[in-house]
Amino acid sequence: MADESNAGPVTADPEAVTEVKVPTAKKPKSPRRQKAAAEPAPSKAAKPRRYSEQERNEKLKLIETQVNEGKSTLKDAIKSAGISEQTYYQWKRTAKPVEQQAEGSVPTGDELADLVQLEAENQRLRKLLAEKLRAENAELRKRLGLD
């Protein structure tokens, strides 16, 4: 029997030896094609436009009149004005506080004097009402015998 633990040199069968592959030159790659529609050049329509405050107010008024007269729906009126719905609602939200400030401005001297006079009259009327209610309450207590 052969010794299996023999670590001696192994002789190879000359027929069993395979050929060693010699590295060949790589095939040259063709350059990549560029994507045709990767990013189109920005057009003037894609650029955001800044409207002045006057232009905003004019467009808002135009939209409101079209909707109020029944010429078109709100969406159609917004599109005909050339703005998006989001822009319309943002403009409308920012325009309202300005209108409210104009309406609720600080009273002038005459208005302030009138306000003070109305407050004094209001106090006088409250006192009269309180006295009248006390008198009625006392009379009812007397009638019911609670006093």
pLDDT tens digits along 79-114: 999 999 999 999 999 887 755 656 666 667 888 899
Separation CA 75–CA 61 (nearest Å): 15
At residue 37, the pLDDT reads: 63
Cβ-contact 27, 49 below 8 angstroms: no
Beta-carbon contacts of 84 under 8 Å, excluding residues fewer than 6 positions away, are 78
Highest mean pLDDT among 1-5, 11-15, 20-24: 20-24
Mean per-residue pLDDT of the chain: 81
Separation CA 146–CA 28 (nearest Å): 115
The answer on pLDDT for 138 being more than 60 is yes
DSSP class per residue in 75-92 = HHHHHHHT--HHHHHHHH
Other beta carbons within 10 Å of 58: 13
Separation CA 138–CA 146 (nearest Å): 9
Other beta carbons within 10 Å of 88: 20
User: Taking the complete model, does pTM exceed 0.75, yes or no?
Assistant: no
Among 130, 147, 129, which residue's Cα sits nearest to residue 138?
147
For the chain, percent of residues with pLDDT exceeding 90: 41
Q: Who wins on pLDDT, 131 or 34?
A: 131
Crossing angle for the helix pair 74-81 and 85-103, nearest 10 degrees?
100
